[in-house]
Every structure is written in structure tokens, then in C-alpha cells.
Structure 1
Amino acid sequence: MEEIFFNEDAELLYKRIVEINKELMNDSSSKSLKKFAILNKGTLLDLCNCVYSTIPFSNPPKPYCSDFAEMTAMIIYKLNKGHCFADGNKRTTLLIIMELIKDAYPVFYNDFFKGGLSIFLKDMIKRNLNEDDVINWVRYQYDLKYEISDVEAQIIYLIMQYKRHGFYDLAEERYKECLAVYGPSVALYKSMAKVYTCKGEYDKAINLYEQAIEGSKGKIDEFELLNLKFHRKKLLSRNTISKEEFSLYLKSVSGNRNG
């Protein structure tokens, strides 16, 4: 099939999605078929073109995606369900979405959002959710930022960056300052819980996850609640699961796959 793109942006998106899947297949540490193949090129082309094009015969021209939420929802739905590649479709979807939000919504570029999206990608297929369901889920995630101020969001983002680079004391200082000025929030608790996890202060992390779960009642959706409970369960079972499994979990929390 000839590759005909609506514009340069559509072509760049297509090439990046393909590149991500190739990287996954070439990753010796991943559990995959280790075979790169595009199974549904037409679906992938249609997805990338729709993201940037307008609905035919609409007057005035109406874009398929009216905002960033609809754009990412379309990618999540069509790429995750379209089975464009022989393997790694969920992981490819996860990685391209995380790349896209890195600049547009940096407060969501963290382990918590990534974990929630991972759960949703599996649940979307299991429950056979439609495109409207996906759009509603995505909008809800992005709307969560209004539960805290923009200043708080940036502080939490900074805490997560300190955590990622191992500056745990600086992360804790920002956490305490934010807590004193703005008060507790689910977002603040969950970010600091990950810092405590990386520091090896597991009881403190568990306590914050429990406070986040208690404070989230009626405020966050089931996928995020499951993610909070997942982290709490991992920490509570740290002495009963294998060292290898717990080590992999710690690496995923730290954001550093190599240690």
C-alpha cells in the first residue's frame, strides 16, 4: 500500500509510531515475538491522517480531532484496537501517548499516569469499550489537573523529576512546602509515595497510598483507584514475592530500567 499522508505532521507521527514498535521488537529484555511487522498498514495510515485532517464535506471544515484530548483518545482507541503490528501494540500505544503528553501536559508525564494508562489499555480491550468511552476516560484524566492549582501541578512535576534523578531529599523538601501551603491532595500523596518507595521507606509510602485511596473516594475513576491499590499491594507483599519481581517493580517506580 502506497503511503499517502495528509501533511508532514501525519507522516512524522506515522514514522514515530513505527520506530517505537521497531525499538520494542529489538529490545532484548522485552518479552515479545522479536519480529517487527506491520499487519494493518491501512489502519495506521488512516489513524495518522485523521489526527490532522478534516471531516470530508464538512462546511466549514471540521477537524476530526477538535483538541488534544480527542487526538490522544483517537490514537489510544485505533492503535490499541487496530492491531497494526504483529506484537507490542499496547506498549507502542502507551509509549507514543506518553511522548505526546510530555510537552502538552507535562504534569501527566509520570509513573502514576503511565500506570493508569497501562491498566486502561488492557481494560479497554477486555470490556470492548467504544471510541466515546475512550474519549470520556481521556477527558476525565486531563480534567483532574483542575483539582489542584497550576503551581501545585508544577511542584508535583518537579518532585517527580527529583525522584527520577535520585534527589530524594530535595523531593521531600518540595513535598513538605507544598503540603504546608496548599494542603493534602491525592496527586501530592501519590507522588511522594513513589519517592519514599525509591528511598526504601516503604511504610511511609504505604501510609501515603492509603491516605490517597481514602481521599480519592468519589473523585477519581476506577482505573486510577486500581493503580493506587496496585502500588500499595506491591509494597505490602514485598517480603513474600521474589526479589527479582520486587526489583523490577522498584525500577518501574524509579523510572530507571537499569537500576
Structure 2
Amino acid sequence: MSFDCCKSGFKWDGKPVGSEGTLDKNKAYITGSNKDVAILMIHDVFGWTFNNLRVLADHFAKEVNATVYLVDFFGGEVLDVNLLESALETGDAEAMKKLDLGNFMGRNSKEIRGPEVFACATALKSQYKKIGAAGYCYGGWASFQLGAKGNSLIDAISVAHPSLLAHSEIDGLAVPTQILAPETDPQLTPELKEYCNRVIPGLGIPYQYDYYPGLVHGFAVKGDPNNAEQKAGLERAKNATVSWFKEFLH
């Protein structure tokens, strides 16, 4: 996976209102207090401590009326946000060397982190009546796997600019699925967009493909609120996810 897709964006200033705890064996940012409805939020490369994602989790907790778990699926490792952004935006060789992104992704492959994702979903299944999965970039493949036939762990998924998707993960979907797709995305390629829109409508599940012209990969979590087009996109994406989960989790 190339990290060029994550190089654009903006850090939000809002202060998270939740608290840190655990889900199964993983650390998690937890926000909201609904005893019946939960959302498992699966982060992008910036990880579970990224302020933007925590602020977004707070929005979902309040507006969906759910308890949201933003779980650490990088084994306690958190990349330096400033170093990561510097490396991606400038291509600085020293910064790239320090980050060692190739080995980082090797430590956080599907094979390694997939079982943790499923363990966390299983833990939620034992506590809540309805569960959604919201995945961003890296979290996209995990959300698709959770929503596959035969798992019976979650009730709906919403993914924004998903990465690392395989055709088999698209083919296997069995729960209501929402995709928030920017115009430009080196991960959710035109071929994958076409495949999703050709295959998923034939799976017999509710499906929403929400397209964001002029926007790029990462817009739903790193859109600049000082840029009118990006602000409109991130607000629309947030509202779309809220509406989707309100429909299928309540």
C-alpha cells in the first residue's frame, strides 16, 4: 500500500469528550452511552489517537445515539503525525526512513490485525443489540470483512475512501453497505469503484454509493474546514454516515 493517498488534509481543533478504555484486549477511545447500539470505528494510518477521528467519533455518538469504540489496531504503535505528514507531503528521505512505512504495514497486515478486529466485534456482539462498523482508509477492508456472509457480527457498514480492498471482500458482503467515494483516490480506483457498483447491487443488500466530486482520498477525516469545498464534503460525509447508521441501527 502506498501512503501517497494520505498526504493531504488538515488537523481539526475540536476537543474529544470521550475516554480511553479497552475493548477485548485492545485499547480504545470510547464515547457515548447507548446500551443497545454500538459503532466499531476502524482508523486510517494516523491511528486511534488521531484527534480528527476522535472528534468524528463524538459526532457519531451524539447524532446516531450510539456508543462508539475507536479501537487501536496498530498494536500500540502510533506514528508521529507531523513526521508522517512531512514525509508524505515533501518526500523527505530521512523522514521516510524514520517512519519505515513498509515494515509498519507488515506489522499491521490483514493477517495480523484481522483476528483482533473480529475479536473486538465479537465482544461488542455480546453487549449490544445493534452494531455498525465505520472504516476509514485502512479500516475499509476490515469493515468489509466484518460484513461478510456467515459472520453475523454487525448490522451495517459505512466506509470512506477504503483501502486494500480485494474483489472477494466485495463479493462477500451481506449487510447494508455505504461507500463514501471521492473523485480522486489511488486506493479506491476507478476499476474498484466500477466493480463495487456492478457487484454490490446484485447481492440483495441495501447499498449506497455516495460520490464526492472534486475531493480526494482522506477527505472524510482530513478535510480542511477552512476550505469551502472540503468543509462541505466532510460535513456531507459525516451526515451521510449518521443517516445510514440511524436507519440501520435503530
Q: What's the TM-score once normalised by structure 1's chain length?
A: 0.29
Q: Which is strand-richer, 1 or 2?
A: 2
Structure with the bigger RCO (C-alpha within 8 Å, sep 6+) is 2
Q: What's the TM-score once normalised by structure 2's chain length?
A: 0.30
